[in-house]
Each structure stands twice: as C-alpha cells, then as structure tokens.
Amino acid sequence: MRLNQLDLIRYGRFRDRSLVFPRPKDGQPDVTIVFGPNEAGKSTAFEGFLELLFGLKGGEHRYAFGAMKRADLLVGAELDLPGRGPTVLRRNGARTGSLMDKDLRPVDELILTAHLHGLNRDAYETRLSLNDETLRKGGAAIAKADGDLGQLLHAGVSGLSGMAAALDGIVRRADEFYRKGARGTALRRDKDRLIQIARDLRDRRLTPEKDKALRKARDAAETVFREKDEALSIARKRQAAGTAAATWHRISGEIGGLEHELQGLPEGPDLSPGTADRIVKLDASIEEKAVRIAELKQSIDGHRKTIEDNPPDATAPSLAIEITQLEDMEFDGAKLLSRADTAKSDLETRIQERNTARSALETAARGIAAVGASSESLVLTDMEIDALGEAAQGCIDAERDLADAEEKRDAAKEALGEEPERPQDLSALEAARNAYTEVADLSDVAAALRLARQQAEESAAGLPEGWRACVAAGLPAEETLNACATALAGCVSRMATVEDVLSTLDAAHLQAAEDRAAREAAPTAIDAAETEATRSARDASWHAHRSALDATTADAFEAAMRKDDAARANFMAGADERHQLATARRAEADAKAARESERIKLEALKARRDEALATASRLAEALALPRDTEPAALKARRKDLVAAEKHRVAWESAARKHAEAEERRDGALATLRAAADGIVSGDGDLAALATRALTLRDSVRRDWTAWDGQRTALAGLEADAAGKEAARRRTLAELDRLTRALPLADRTAPSVKAALPALRIVAGHHKDFHRLDRRVDAMARAIETLKAVAGRLAGLLGTAFTETDDPLEVVRIARARVAAAGEVDRARQSAETDEKTETGLLERAEAAVGKAREEIARTFDAQGGADLPALEGVAALKHRDELCRTKHDLETKRLEARAAADRALFEEELALLPDDTRTAALETLVGDAQGERDMARDHRQEARRHHDEAHAAADPSALIAEQAILREALRQGARQAAVCRIGDRVAREALRRLAGERRSTMLDDVRDAFVTMTAPAWTNVEAWTHDQGEKLVGTTADGEVVHVERMSSGTMGQLYFALRLAGYRSFVREAGPLPMILDDIMETFDDARAREALKLCAELGREGQAIMFTHHEHLVELARETVPDAAVLEMHR
Amino acid sequence: MRLLVSADIHLGSPIRSLALRNSDLAERLGDASRETFRGIVDLAIDENCDVLVLSGDIFDSEQADLRIRAFLVSQLSRAAAAGIQTVLIRGNHDALLDHRQHGELGDSIHLLRRGQASVDIAGVSFHGLSFESAHEENSLLPDYPAPVADRLNVGLMHTSLGGAVGHDPYAPCSEPDLMAHGYDLWCLGHIHAPSERHADGCLAVMPGIPQPRDFGERAGGSVTLVDLGPDGPRFERRAVARLVFREKHLDLDACETQQEVFTLMRDTLSALGQDGRAVAVRLIAATERFPEHALLDMAAEVLEDIDGVFIDKVRAAPPAGRLDPAIDDFVRLMREEMCRSAVRAAAEQIVRDIRAVLPADLQDDLATTDLDDLREDALAEVHLEIRMGGGA
C-alpha cells in the first residue's frame, strides 16, 4: 500500500486541504519530508491518515465540537493498493458504512483490511510509526533488555519495547506469591495463618467426639461428688445425733429437780390460762360495785321529787296549732303577719290608681272606634296588631307591583312585530359535507403511488426475472457476505506469502538433500552398521569356504575379506565425514520438516480458500448471480435485491392506500347525497351546493331566534302581571279577615295602617287597669282572714275580741302561753328519763357482785389449799402450774432433740455419755468429710464449666470465613503464579526462537543501519552467545566490545532506531509495503548522525514508503542534501 | 397445603470468595448460611406455610459442630411454635442428624428414615429415606413406600438424579422412574442449582442451595414455595440469599484511557446491587491494555463509591482474535513453543513445584491436567503485560 494523497476535507481545523505524496522516479527512494512549524497540523494529518485506515475513534471525537458534528467529519486519501491500483477513499464519522468511494458511496471495509495484514490501529501505530518519545523509551527499554537478542529483535519487529519490564513484572508477581527459600511471600504468610486458624478451630469446634469426652468427664465428676456428699451427710447426722444425746442427757437432770419441788405444793389440775388474774380482778370488782350501789339509790330519790313538782298545761296545744296556721299565711309575696301593719293604707292607694287607668282607656278608644262601639272591643294583643300592620302594608305593596308589571307588559306587546320565516335542521347535511370534504382530495396518495411504482420499477430494472423468488427464499446476511469475502481475501493473501516461503524451503531442502547425498556417496561416510554387515558377510564366506575348500568359495571369501578390510579402513578414517553426514542428515530432516510444515500450512490455506469459494458460489446462487461471481460483487447484489424488495413492498402499500382512499371518498359522497335530498336543489358540485345552503341557514336562524326571544319575553311579562294581580287579591282578603271583627271607623289599608299607634295605646291602658284591680281585691281578703284567726285565739285564751281590738296583741299573748307550757314539759320529761336509767344501773351492779362471788367459789373446787384466802390460794396454784409447764417443756425439747437425730445413731451416742471429748471428735469427723465433699464439688463445677463453655463458646464462624478466604486466595494465587511462571518461561523460549528466526534476516540490517548512523565511533554490532541465550554487543573503532546496557542513552536510541528500521524491512519483506511514519525522530541526533539516519530513511524508502514529519528547517536542508530526490511538503499554521 | 421446600443448606459452611476480604462484608456474611436459614424460617412463618421440607445436606460435613445442630433445633422449634411442622431427611453431609447418637430433634420435627419412612400431616403423606453413608452408589427409589391411596403423597429424596456437573454421583436415580413412582410431589436435594420438572401431574422440585458459597454456585440463592391444591402442585421460587454472585463482561477495547475504563466500570457496577442484597461480581474484561492486577486496583477504587457490590475476581483477556498467530508473530512463536515437549515438561514441572508447596487439601485444585488453560492464560498474561508496559 502507498499513500498518494491525503485529503483533510473536514477534519480538525482543516477544510479541503490535500497533501500530495509524489511518486518517486524509477530507482529512487520513496521518501517524503512533511515540514511545518509547531501547530501546523502534522499530528492532525497523521491521525487523519490512521482514522481513514481504521475508522474514527469511538465516543466523543476530539474534532467534533461546536457546529462540526461527528457525522460531518470527513477525511480521504488516494491509496495505491496492490491488485487495485490507485483507489480514492473517504471516511466519515458514521458508526457503520463510514468507508466510501470518491462519490461518497459506502464501500466494503475489506478493500482496506485485506491490505493491512491484520494490523489494528494500535498495532499500526506501534509497528509503523516512530516519534521522539518512542525512540527515547525504546532506548531505555534496550537497557532493561540487558542486550537480550530476542527481546531487541521483538522490539524492532513489533515496536513494543517493554518486554523486559513485562517479564520482570510477571516474575515479580509470581515471586510475591511464592519463591523457593524466600520468606514473607503470600504463600508463606497465608499458610502460617491457616495453620494458626486450624489450631484455633480445633480448640473451639464442638465436635461430637469432643462433646462426648466433656460429658464423660462431667458425669464422672458428678458421681464422685455424690459419693462425697453422701459421706458428709452421714458425718453430719452422727454429729447431730451426738448433739441430741448430749441435750437429752442435760435435760433429764433438770427434770429431776423440778419434780422434787412440786412435791411441796397443792395438788389438783392446772388452772386454766388467766384464772389467777381473773380471781384478783373479781375481788377488786366486788369492792368497787358496793360503793356504786349506794350512790345510785340517793340519785333516784331526787328525780322522783322533780316529777311531782311539774304537771302539764292542757290549752297550749290548741293555741300552738292556730298560731302555726297564722304564721303560714302570705300576702303580696310576704308573711301576712309581717305585712299586717301596712295593709290598710296600701289598699286606698291602689283603688285610686285603678280608676285612673280606666279613664285613659276610654279616651284612647274613642279616636278610632266606630260609633257605639265599646272600648273593650278594640283591645288587641301585640301579635294581632303586628299582623294587622303587615297585612295593611302588603296590600299597599301589591297594588304598586301590579301597576309596574302591567306597564312593562303593555310596552313589550307594542314592540313585538310579525313572526319571520322558521329555520330547518341541517346538522346531518353539515356533517356529511364535512366528512366528504376530508376525503375528497386523492392527489397526495395518487402522487405517492406514482412515485412508489416508479421507484419499484427502477430498482428492479437491472435484476433478473426470478429475483423475487430469491428474496422470498431468504437472502444471506450481510455479515455472512463480509465473512466470506474476508476469509477468501485473507486466504489468498496468506497463500501467496506461504507459497513464497515454501519455494524457498523447497530449495533449501533440495540443497540439503544434495549435500547429504554427496556426503553419503563418499566411501569414508560408512557407518558402524555397514562394517558390521561386511564383517558378517566375511564370516559367512569363511564358513562357506571352510566347508567347501574350493576356488570359488576361496575367491568369494577373499572378496568379502577385502571388502570388510576396506570398510573398516574407511570407517576408521571417516569420523569427520560421518559427523558431517549426520549433520547433513539433520539439516535435511530439519529442512524437510520446515518445508512439510509450510506445505501443510499451504494445504490448509487452500482448503480454507476452496471452502470460502464454495461458500461464495452458494451465496452467489442465493443472490441470483452466476456461481463464479466475484465475492466482492455479492454485497452490491444483495443491496440491490434488498432495495428492490423494499421498493416493491412500498409500491404495494401505496396502491393499497390509494384504493382505500377512493373507497372512503365514494362512501362519503353517497352519505352527502342522502343528507342533501329535499334540502339542496340544482345542478353542479353537490358539496358546493350544500355549503351554500348551510351559509343561508345561518341568517334565517339568526332572525327567527331574535323574534322568538322577544315573544318568549312578552309571555314572561304577561305571566308576571297576572301573578301580581293574584298577589294583590290575596293581601286584600287577608286584611279583610283581620279587620272584620274590629269596630274601626275606616277599614281600608291606609286607614288601618294609620290606626295602628292608637290600637297599641288602647292595649297598654287595658293591661294596667286589670293588674290594679286584681291587687285591690287580694288586700281586702287578707285583712279579713287575720281578724278571724285573732277571734279564735281569744276564745281559747278565754278573753273577749271585737272589730276594734288589735288582732296582733291577741296573737302575742297566745304565743307567750304556749312558750311557758313548753318549759314545764321539758323539766318533767328529763327527770323521768334519769330516774329510769339509774334504776336499771342499780339492778345490774347488784347482780354482778353476786356473780363474782360465785365464780371465785367455783375456782377452788377440786383443788387442794381451799382453806387459804382467795388471793393466797391462787398464788400457790399458779406457782405449781408454772413448775409443771417448765417440766413439760423440757420433756418436749428432749424428745424433739432425739426425734431430729437418727435413732440408731442417737442411741449409740447416748450410750457413750457422759464424755467431754465426744463433741470435738464429731466436729473433726464432719470437717474432714466437708473438705472432701467441697473438693469433689469443685471438680464437678470445673467439669460442668468445661462442658458448658464448650457449648457456649464464641462462634468460630469468623475464623471459618477467614479460613475460606485464605484458601481461596491461595487457590487463585497459586494458579496465577503458575500462569506467570509459565508465561515467563514460554515468552523467553519464544524470544530465543525469535532470535533464531530473525537473526539471519534482521541482524545484518541492524548492523548496517547502526554502523551507518554511528560511524566511525562504532564499527560493528553482533550477537554473542551466553549461558542464557544470545546477547547483542557493539564494537567500537578501538576494537572494544561494549555490552548494550553500557552504551550511552543516545547510542541506545540509535540502536533502537536501527532495530525498528530492520523490523520495518522484515515486515515489508513478509507482508508488503505500508507507509512508515517518522515524526521528528532526529531532534537529538547531531548533524552527522542525522544525515546518516536520513540515508537510512532513503534505504527504507527503497522498500516501502517513508514519510517524515519535522518542524526543524535544518533537517529539511539536510534531507535535501542527503536524499536529493526526497519530496518536501510544507504545512503552515 | 402450603410447603416451603429447601435443601443443601450446608449450615456453617463459609462463603468462598475474595469479595469477603472487605471487612464490612466479612462481618455481615461471616455467618451467612445460618442467617439465611433464619430468613427461611421467617419466610415460612410470613407465608403461613404448613410444613417446612428439608431434603438433606442441612449440615456440612466439614463443619461438624454441635452448636450448629443446636441452632437448627432452635430455629425449627421457632417454626413449630408458629404451627409449622418440619419434615426432613439426612443427606451425605448430615452426620449431625444421626438420631441414634444425638437424639431426636423435637416435637413437630419429623426425621424420615428406614423404619420410620412416612408421616401423615393434615391428610398428606410424606415419605423419605435418610442416608446412612456419605457415599451411596445405588438408587434408593425401590425402597420408598408405595403411595397411599386417596391421599396426596410427597417424597423427599437426596439424589444426584442422572448426574450433574460439579456434583458427585450420589444415590443416582432415573428421572422418569422418579416421576412414575406415583407421588404428587418430589422434594429433592443434592444439586445446588435450582430446577423443577413436571410430568403426568407430578412435580419434582430441586430447590438448590439457598446461600451460594462461591461463583460456581451462583445459580442458587432461593427456596421454593409449593401449594398442594386440587389442581395439582404449583410452585414459586423466592430469593433468600444474603449474597449473590454475578458475572459481568466489560469490553474495554474502545477505552483508551483509565478515565474511560473508570466510567465504564462505574456504569456497569453501579447497575448491580439494586435490590439490597450484597453482590460479589466476577469481571471478565476484554482488553489489550490493562492486565488483571491493574483492573483489580481500578475496580477497588470504583467500588469505594458503590454500596453492596464487591469484586469476587477479575479476569482480563485480549479481545477475540487478538491472540491470532497469523497476526502477531510473537504470539505465533509462543504458541509453537507451548507445543514443544520440553516447554510442556517445564510447565508441568512449574505446576508440580507450586502444588508441592500448597497445603495438601488445596493441591488438587492446581492440576497438570489444567495445563492447556494455564498456558492460554499465560499467553494472555504476557501479551497484556507487554501491551501495558511496552507501548513505546
């Protein structure tokens, strides 16, 4: 591939800018210097070239901003492609189909990819471009490679110079996991931790076996404890029995002393509890009650004398009744007695006020009453007067409303004219007209139908007859076509390369075979097996001759002997030849194997090609093409078929839509015709006629609607006037009903309204008169009642009473008489009550004394000592009873002590008493048993604790989880370490192979380039064999051999440049030329070296295309001097 | 009748993922199997289940701890207090369920075994056989009781059926024979990926492991609810796992900068972990620029801002076709070297050397039989490392 022209059409800041890379003259190197200052766009041009080859980068593109969208970006080039010649291509920012021809029609990516030899953009950049930075990094990487020939040649071929660092990194990661003899590796650390965890888990895990052991220990401890506890219990029982026996022994002595004292006291049963105290209390009570009896007898005599001195008054009860009734009488809201003084004068005043009210009533009634009517007949309540007022006002209002309504009605009647023409209902006609108008126009669908038909016919024009059958059977996918074309192109390209290699290998094998045959032909090439064969032949001839002993066998034996001697002589002399023959045979075998490998590769490629061709034939047939059609043409045919089918379907769809539109239009016209029947007449466009009828309908409807509104309003006014008339009649009737019984002089509504104040005054005076009349009557009746009561009181007192006497004085005398009788009654009744009470007390005191004396006598029945005074006798009996109780208590204690102890042990211990040492001995016995029991208890608690703690121990799940994580880490780490170590091993072996394969083709190129650039300081570069493989060393002009890692950084950069140039040459030899881009790589070179480097670029340009970007003018000048035929392009800011 | 069917709980067995190197996650999931089982009992109570069915491998033979048995009893007692009876059988990991050694489990908990192979609950007959040994080579189906007439019959069996990847053959049983036995429902165990089968009115449920322990068990994580109604059994899976495993593929081929990788990773990882459960994710990256250790560092940084998502593992490999010997000469040479017997022997020796220093129980995980995979990974590793460090 050669870049003839780069077109930056819409790219970065470039618009329609082209860079033309002129073809060199015959025999001249293809070198173009692109010169421009910084920011001139050299990097943009390089990037544009890469994006043309590989497509625009995904995501947001750096040049797609502002008005320039990604899809607008466009780069192009004219490329000289092997087999196609100059080809103009364009590339835009579309996601698919971005590669186009000069007319911007999409073309297959295969046009480019077939010539890029599998390189992607990254690989192209690393292998086929070089800039100052990569040169510096490459130089540094060479130092790290430690001169390793494989790594250096790999760097030259691939452009990737980090091999040493990569392999170091891989090995370091493996070492971090595990390295023999190393400490602190991840493996060691995690293994140690796993051991620790396993140990902890063993301790903390409660396995069934562990649980069984713990339970066994716990149960054994429990058994021992129970035994010791039983022994302690027995010791304690014996100690308790000893204590009980001692108690028994001591109490028995005390009981003997008590029995002796009881013999001197009276016999008899025990006194009941409290008997002694009771006797003492009875004795004291008898004396106290004798004094009281004397006092009561004297008081009773005093009460009887008071009763005789206060007899009862027989008149007082009647007087009290009368006075009580009088005090209950009321007048004018107060007690009659309290108002009696003022009653007479009040009566006169009220009679005068009553008469005044009567006069005012008569006066007010006379102003409004009819002649001869009484004032009483004009008295009304307030509610009646209010109703009368409302009725009168209602009549006045109704009269006024009726007049207003009649006036409006008459005015409206005059304004209403004649009825205009009535409108018709045209809504159906309007709907039909609208529906028809919507579907009447078919011009759009007709035009669409024409266009679709035209497109369908055009797209199917170049296709064979049966194209629709192909489409119906299903077209192969575009990816299938691409894959087929790619596979075929790849096979063909690869086959050409392999065939070249195979021819070389054939020649090499032929040469090796000839060499081997020549060496085999030499007599000294004989091997040991052949000497053994001649020896065997000689021995056989000898045996034959020995048997026959004739001339023939003798000759044969001689010949065999000579042959054997010659063979042995040749064998002895042919050590070197045999070694060379073996080497030649190995070389032949190697050459044969290499040729065979390449031949198998070629056969496989042919098979893949044939398979791809067969696939292409099937695909062609499926696309209605001849079977031998070029695969590149399949895609276009598929595209044509897809387009034709798409347009055919569109045509059918358009025809269907057109027919549907016609059907809709005809239906709407029929509906319109039916709706217009009887409404529209005349010839012409039915829709226009209908529209005209609808327009006239509007004005008729407006006139009739206005007249109808006026008529409706007049009917409303007439109804209103009639309503008002009815209301007026109702109000007059109501006024008449209310005034029918009233003797008014004038009963019209205005007169009634004017009489309302006078009616209210009449009602007020009538109410005052009747109130005063009722009060006067009540006062007169009260005075009469008081006098009657006073007369009855005087009769009971036995005195006279007249009309002139003061009734209140009689009442006062009667009250005094009643009060005196009450005092006498109270004195007498008190004495009677006291006398009765004290007589009862006297009787009870005398009975109590007798009873006490009887009880004392009963106490001494059946007791000894009855001859003693009561108090002394009781004291003796009480002492006797106390001694008996003490004795009983002691006996109880003694029995209780014995009952609390084991009976047998008690008897044993009692038999040992008296013994002063026995208590101490028993304490020692219990102490020992207690100690042993406590020890067993502690053991039991410890065993229980172990068991319980094992069950309640912290859950080990965290440890188990950590164990699982560590195991997973080791699992993955071990695998990754194995991967790294194998990777390192395989990579180093591959590098050795690379050195072996490439050294013959590249090492000379490297040496030539390096020496050319660095002469005269350096005279040679060669590979030295070391223990670990071959290493590159340089030779100075002084003959000193310098290892690569000891070269200066500048020299290393130049060595790296030399390697890359050699790599490029190697690539071109294998895959064919691709443009090599050199971006200001000679900045750090001095002029002499830059000049030599430019010469190398010229060499590079003889095999491919070299494009060198620079912003250094002096490098341009140097280039013009060094490579006179180099083209120079200038770029400006 | 409503059943909750589970199996292969492996109580006490830990999560085996490097995701748990995150201390917060390790604290949350240190006891994941038990927490999940606690959740299963909660679910049975919430769903008003009548019976909890456990079809073996309730315990894990590597975690023989009586406290785990005590935990099981406490949880099943809790279910019993809520009116839920439990029917269970022993699997090949269930030595702790040996009633002769450890006693019965309690009221309302029915361990089915030989001599006590059936139990009747609310008119439904449950049948099951417990395993007596860790390895059972023959089908136990012939020993199962015949179905009880005029009743619904439910079977419990721990079996590898016809065989399953990653599971030892255990009491193998032909699936057609199983479905034709006459039961209405089979509750199965042993295979950790859930599945269901219908045939002739019979439903077979393999509920799977409720809490996956590693990436290989990522299909699990659920239990199965079964309704035994007049129309036949109906089932519904319910997720119960505290941690789920996911696999995500990242195409980093178009990413030129680490920033773009960060963005793609963030978008991919933040879409996970939306349902509140922790997610351990295995990232498979197609890239020519970033080896695994670099991607692992980047993923760790991205996940600092994303809750509930953790890295189980990162694998990086060049995009398909990039290791084509026809394109890359060095790849060709490496592939050819790999085929050489001397190199192959050296690689086997490397594997043997590393195996030898591993703990004994991990040595089988690194086998020379995996050599082809190891060499492919080695090729990718070298390729990526050169691309990463050698773009000069």
Q: What is the DSSP letter of A642?
A: H
Question: Is the Cβ pair B392, A983 closer than 8 Å?
Answer: no
Query: Measured in whole angstroms, how far is the alpha carbon of residue A764 from the centre of its chain?
Result: 89
Question: Quick one: average pLDDT of B237-254?
Answer: 91
Say whether A974 and B366 touch across the interface (CB within 8 A): yes
Indicate yes or no: CB of A975 within 8 angstroms of CB of B366. Answer: yes
The closest CB to that of B313, out of A58, A166, A972, belongs to A972
Instruction: Give residue-wise pLDDT tens across range A891-921.
Output: 999 999 999 899 999 998 888 888 888 889 9
pLDDT band at A150 (very low <50, low <70, confident <90, very high): confident
Is B392's pLDDT higher than 50? Answer: no
And the tokens for B200?
């002739």
- Least confidently predicted of A37-41, A239-243, B74-78: A37-41
Kindly indicate the confidence band of residue A490, based on its pLDDT and cuts at 50, 70 and 90. Answer: confident
Query: Does A137 touch chain B if contact means CB atoms closer than 8 Å?
Result: yes
Tokens describing residue A209: 């076996």
Amino acid at residue number A225: F
Chain A CB contacts of B334 below 8 Å: 986-987, 990
Residues 944-963 of A with CB under 8 A from B: 951, 953, 955-958, 960-963
Is there a contact between A957 and B34 if contact means CB atoms under 8 Å apart?
yes
Which residue of chain A comes nearest to B325, CA vs CA?
A118
Instruction: State the pairing for strand pair A129-131/A1018-1026.
Output: unpaired
Alpha carbon distances (Å) from A356 to A350, A352, A763, A765: 10, 7, 15, 10
Is B360 in CB contact (< 8 Å) with chain A? no
- How large is the angle between the packed helices A163-177 and A149-158, nearest 10 degrees? 120
CB neighbour list of residue A469: distance below 8 Å, 6 or more residues apart: none
The Cα of A190 is separated from the nearest Cα of chain B by a number of Å equal to 10
Q: Is the pLDDT of residue A661 over 60?
A: yes
Residue A57 at interface with chain B, using a CB cutoff of 8 Å: yes
Q: Where is pLDDT greater, at B234 or A1060?
A: B234
Q: How many CB pairs under 8 A join A and B?
A: 208
pLDDT band of residue B390 (cuts 50, 70, 90) is very low
Output the CA angle A851-A855-A861, nearest 5 degrees: 145
Give pTM, 2 decimals.
0.52
Edge-to-edge strand order for the sheet containing B109-111?
A: B109-111, B85-89, B51-55, B2-6, B222-229, B232-239
Between CA A134 and CA A141 the distance in angstroms is: 10
- Tell me if residue A720 falls in helix, strand or coil: helix
Q: Which of A777-786, A906-915, A1045-1054 has the highest mean pLDDT?
A: A906-915
Flag if A170 and B382 touch (Cβ within 8 Å).
Answer: yes
Task: Among B11, B24, B341, B358, pick the best mutation site for testing chain A contact (most A Cβ within 10 A).
Answer: B358
For residue B145, give how far its alpha carbon lies from the nearest alpha carbon of chain A (Å). Answer: 32
Is residue B73 within 8 angstroms of chain A, CB to CB? no
Is pLDDT above 70 for A774? yes
Say yes or no: B63 contacts chain A, CB-CB below 8 A.
yes
- Give backbone dihedrals phi and psi of A804, rounded to 5 degrees, phi first: -90, -15
Nearest Cβ partner for A126 among B14, B95, B391: B391
Q: Mean pLDDT: which of A279-283, A356-360, A387-391 is highest?
A: A387-391
Q: Considering only alpha carbons, which residue of chain B is nearest residue A969?
A: B18
Beta-carbon contacts of residue A335 (< 8 Å; ≥ 6 apart): A327, A329
According to the model, what pLDDT value does residue B36 have? 95
Whether B253 and chain A come into contact, CB under 8 Å, resolves to no
Long-range contacts of B100-103 (CB under 8 A, 24+ apart): B101/A208, B102/A208, B102/B66, B102/B69
Residue B164: the pLDDT is 65
Closest residue of A to B321, CA-based? A118
CA distance A654 to chain B (A): 44
Residue A180: list chain B partners with CB under 8 A. 353
Q: CA A1045 to CA A1033: how far, in whole Å?
A: 9
The length of chain A, given as a count of residues: 1133
Chain B window 23-62: which residues touch A at a Cβ cutoff of 8 Å? 26, 29-31, 34
Within a 10 A sphere around the Cβ of A430, how many other Cβ atoms?
A: 16
Q: Nearest by CB to B391, which of A119, A160, A993?
A: A160
Q: Please determine, for residue B13, whether its predicted confidence score (pLDDT) is greater than 60.
A: yes
Q: Smallest Cα–Cα separation from A772: which of A256, A213, A357?
A: A357
Instruction: Give residue-wise pLDDT tens across range B345-378.
Output: 999 999 999 999 999 888 888 877 678 889 889 9
Pick from A877, A757, A830, A760: which is nearest to A310 by CA?
Answer: A830
Chain A residues with CB inside 8 Å of B70's CB?
951
Which chain A residues touch B292 with a CB distance below 8 Å? 976
Q: What is the pLDDT of residues A619-650, one digit of tens each?
A: 888 888 888 888 878 888 888 888 888 888 89
Q: In sequence order, what are the residues at sequence separation of 6 or more whose Cβ sits closer than 8 angstroms to the Cβ of residue A7? A: A16, A17, A18, A75, A76, A77, A78, A90
Is residue A512 exposed (0-12), middle (13-18) or buried (19+ Cβ within 10 Å)? buried
Q: What pLDDT is recorded for position B78?
A: 94
Question: Which amino acid is located at B392 in the chain?
Answer: A
Please tell me the distance in Å from A1092's CA to the nearest CA on chain B: 23
Residues of A in contact with B293 (CB under 8 A): 173
Above 90 in pLDDT, residue A32?
yes
What phi, psi does B240 have (nearest 5°)? -135, -10
Can you list the alpha helix ranges (DSSP code H) found in chain B?
A: 23-29, 32-46, 66-81, 99-102, 175-179, 258-270, 292-303, 329-339, 341-357, 371-389
